[in-house]
Amino acid sequence: MPVRTTARSGIRRATNTTATGLRATAVAVLAAAALVSCTQGQTDGGLRADPSAPSATASPSAGPAESAESVENADQAEQAAGEATEEPTAPAEPAPELVRDAFATLQATLGETCTPGAGDCAYFLGRVTQELTELDEAMRADPKGPGHFKQPLADMKVLFGKLGKDRSTPHLEKFFTEIVSTRDGINTWMQDHPDDYR
């Protein structure tokens, strides 16, 4: 008897697995059929078809001009659908921050400082320089245009010209006064233009 029970259980398991596979296949086939019927209903006179659009099953009496126009419209629709579904080749770069967001993070540094040469400036100067860079990008990308932010952009241009590409701590410490005064000057300018950060 134990042999028979094991054999029957094995048959039942195989049957259940087969039944589950058949059910999954049936569901997939039904879904595909529904998708096909939905897309055909819109182009061949089905329930959701556009009554002004020429039918895909045009009558044989339709003139060659109508048939050529239908083929041309179908080609254009296929091309538009192909363009809409194409994957972008390169990921889009994130948009610059809004001016108010970039300014808020710069403002967060107002209570901070460091002592050049004491070993505590790496984070502070690096952060302020980064915040100024992001604010510069945000102001240039703002819908008001760079002309609206003429003074802060000019101040940052002078600072970035002095700093060059070197963002090492010893180099930034040499320009401690310029970095902090640029930050403070931009803060003062922005306080006079509250519509830019509220």
159-171 pLDDT tens trace? 999 999 999 999 9
pLDDT in tens, 93-133: 555 578 899 999 999 999 999 999 888 899 999 999 999 99
Residue 26 has pLDDT above 90, yes or no: no
Whether the CB-CB separation of 187 and 90 falls below 8 Å is answered with no
Q: What is the mean pLDDT of residues 174-193?
A: 94
Specify whether the CB–CB gap between 132 and 159 falls below 8 A: yes
Between 40 and 33, the more confident residue is: 33
How far is the C-alpha of 7 from the C-alpha of 9, rounded, in Å? 5
The predicted pLDDT at position 77 comes to: 58
Strand, coil or helix: 78? helix
Give the pLDDT confidence of 45-94 residue by residue, as tens digits: 545 555 555 554 444 455 555 555 555 665 665 666 555 555 555 555 55
How far, in Å, CA of 34 to CA of 40, rounded? 10
d(CA 153, CA 134) in angstroms, rounded, equals: 12
